[in-house]
Amino acid sequence: MIFSFNSQVIIQGISGSLGTTYAPLIRNYGTSLIAGVSPGYGGSHIEGVPVFDMVEQVVLQHGPIDISIIFSHPYDVLDAATEAMRAGIRQLIIISQGVPPIDMIHLIQQADANDTLIVGPNSPGIIIPGKMLLGIHPPMFYTPGRVGIITRNGPLTYEVARIMTKAGIGQSIAVSLGSDSILGSTLPQWLQILEEDDDTDAIVLIGEIGGDSEEMAASYIRESIDKPVVAYIAGHTAPRDRRMGHAGTIIETQLGGFGPDLGTAESKVSVLKSVGVPVADRPSQIPDLIQRLLTPKRKARATKVRTELSAS
């Protein structure tokens, strides 16, 4: 996993209301929160966290930083992220909502050139249950385990985690990509990250109406993912041609000439099922689908262990 217990973390925009609220929660969860950055606040402490004017100053005093959680004003996010990348930070978690689309286009171009992973904007971030909190996830819904959650929707991340926890299924990681119209990373990127993660045995993919992210994910699962994947698509009852809260969620009768169904819940469910991914009709069904997929693998693993013990 690219995130570890020893990852060094800073918060940019720590002096804002979200920064002051979540900095102590992030630190108290066990995250190695080194410092905050907020121009004009250098030399002060916010909720016990030392604050610097510039990211470069943090690096000079504390050494390389792995992750920046960005709470900056949406119109300042591009500058904050650029500053972080120039200081060598290669994982950026953007919590801020409403980052201008043109700024995100420039930011993604910079990230590609610098091999930087971006989560967000308008995202609750990432949580590795029992180890580290990189954002605003409510930790009480999570428990350590071996099933990863990837979503496009923040509140659904919490709901699915709570349902899994109540069913006795822990999580290795939960990441919400964000709900603005242009995002820093994609479902296929995160599918590959969890495919390569030794702490993850299965993946839960939570999608929603609008765009073709889930269709792209389905194609990637068919070609590149060997771990079991379970999915749920939100928005079955949403009307067409109406913007539905999230900036990137819209159903159109025709989209790019691909037909009237692209972007609908029905289209996404059909494509996922066509590549062998079980799709829950409602979140409460997810634990049962996970258990069905993992049980054969656990039996096979147990048989292999017994065989190796007998041979020895």
pLDDT tens column, 164-193: 999 999 999 999 999 888 999 999 999 999
- Neighbouring CB atoms inside 10 A of 100's CB total 15
User: What integer pLDDT is reported at residue 234 of this predicted model?
Assistant: 87
Length of the chain: 312
Helix (H, G, I), strand (E, B) or coil at 61: helix
CATH of 1-122, one of 3.10.180.10, 3.40.50.720, 3.30.450.20, 3.30.413.10: 3.40.50.720
Residue 134: C-alpha distances to residues 26, 77, 99, 275 (Å): 7, 17, 19, 32
- List Cα–Cα distances, 126 to 31, 68, 163, 174, 309, in angstroms: 12, 12, 18, 6, 39
In the structure, what pLDDT confidence band is assigned to residue 15 with cuts at 50, 70 and 90?
very high
Please give the Cα distance from 211 to 303 (Å, whole number): 43
Query: Coil, strand or helix: which one is 296?
Result: helix
Rounded percentage of the chain residues whose pLDDT exceeds 70: 85
The whole-angstrom separation of Cα 238 and Cα 242 is 8
Q: Using 50, 70 and 90 to split pLDDT, how confident is the model at 241?
A: low
**CATH T-level fold of 138-303:** Rossmann fold (3.40.50)
pLDDT at 245 over 70: no
pLDDT value of position 260: 53
pLDDT at 3: 81
Say if CB 101 and CB 182 are below 8 A apart: yes
pLDDT of residue 146 exceeding 80, the answer is yes
Instruction: Determine which of 42-46, 85-89, 238-242 has the lowest per-residue pLDDT on average.
Output: 238-242
Q: In this prediction, what percent of the chain has a pLDDT beyond 90?
A: 76
User: Which is it for strands 67-70 and 125-128: parallel, antiparallel or unpaired?
Assistant: unpaired
Of the candidates 73, 106, 137, 246, the residue annotated as catalytic is 246
Q: What is the mean pLDDT of residues 243-247?
A: 46
Same fold, 1-122 and 138-303: yes
| Amino acid in position 147 | V
pLDDT at 240: 54
Which value, to the nearest 10 degrees, does the dihedral of the CA atoms of residues 71, 72, 75, 79 take?
-110
Q: What is the rounded distance in angstroms from the CA atom of residue 165 to the CA atom of residue 171?
A: 8
Q: Could you state, in order of their start, the residue ranges of all structural domains in the chain? A: 1-122, 138-303
196-230 tens-digit pLDDT: 999 999 999 999 877 788 999 999 999 999 999 99
246 is catalytic: yes
Distance (Å, rounded) from C-alpha 311 to C-alpha 22? 53
For residue 195, give every residue at least 6 positions away whose Cβ sits within 8 Å of its Cβ, in sequence order, or none.
Answer: 203, 224, 225, 226, 227
Residue 282, helix vs strand vs coil: coil
